[in-house]
């Protein structure tokens, strides 16, 4: 079965377009534990899950593109960034966590865009692990599970969010270190 060459990129673009819809749904009723909160969480989970689908299709059918390598991490950052911002607006996540995460994410994205004319920086394993940890932590924080299982879920949310933030910082440091090593090697080889 042949799939359209741009299908992975289309999935990625749809993920970006879902982000503002998700944020509106999260904030529309002030983050209450009602239907909109559940739908916002469901949309986030489905959208973030497509990250694996577009990557799988691109690799499986050998249609990996430089545009896809550039857009895929941007889509993840837009979606997770909106989730961090929304949770902070609702007062459910300390603003300093959102600021740290956004500084790392925006910094890496800006760097990727600056060097895109020289080379495309694909996501490294630690960046992928960070995205997975953020997806799990944000999904747990967005789902109003406390209404179903009780308030002990707040402890689980805190642990998963801590792991996500630590991996966010560590993967940012790893990214910078890898880029610096690459520059030094390029200068030596020149």
CATH number (domain holding residue 98): 1.20.120.1760
Predicted confidence (pLDDT) at residue 86 exceeds the cutoff of 70: yes
**Residue 170 maps to a domain:** yes
At residue 37's C-alpha, the angle toward residues 105 and 146, to 5°, is 95
pLDDT in tens, 33-77: 899 999 999 999 999 999 888 888 888 888 888 788 778 888 989
Q: What is the CA radius of gyration of the chain?
A: 18
pLDDT in tens, 142-161: 999 998 999 999 999 999 99
Mean confidence (pLDDT) of the chain: 89
Question: What H or E segment, with its residue span, contains residue 29?
Answer: none
Query: Which residue, among 80, 101, 86, 75, has the nearest Cα to 37 in the 3D structure?
Result: 86
**Residue 181 maps to a domain:** yes
Q: What is the pLDDT of residue 35?
A: 94
**Residue 131 maps to a domain:** yes
**Residue 1 maps to a domain:** no
Q: Give exposure, 81-101, as e/b (b: 16+ Cβ within 10 Å).
A: bbbbbbbbbbeebeeebbebb
Number of domains in the chain: 1
**Residue 180 maps to a domain:** yes
């Amino acid at each position: 079965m042949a799939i359209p060459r741009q299908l992975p990129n289309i999935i990625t673009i749809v993920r970006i377009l879902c982000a503002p819809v998700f944020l509106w749904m999260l904030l529309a009723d002030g983050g209450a534990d009602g239907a909109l909160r559940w739908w916002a969480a469901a949309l986030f989970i489905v959208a973030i899950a497509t990250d694996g689908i577009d990557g799988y299709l691109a690799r499986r059918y050998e249609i990996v593109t430089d545009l896809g390598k550039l857009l895929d991490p941007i889509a993840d950052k837009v979606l997770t960034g909106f989730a961090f911002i929304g949770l902070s607006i609702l007062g459910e996540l300390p603003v300093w966590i959102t600021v740290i995460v956004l500084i790392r994410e925006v910094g890496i994205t800006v760097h990727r865009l600056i060097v895109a004319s020289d080379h495309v920086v694909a996501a490294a394993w630690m960046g992928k692990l960070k995205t997975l940890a953020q997806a799990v932590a944000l999904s747990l924080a967005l789902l109003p599970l406390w209404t179903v299982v009780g308030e002990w879920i707040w402890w689980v949310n805190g642990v998963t969010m801590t792991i996500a933030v630590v991996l966010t910082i560590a993967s940012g440091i790893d990214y910078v270190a890898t880029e610096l090593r690459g520059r030094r090697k390029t200068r030596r080889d020149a």
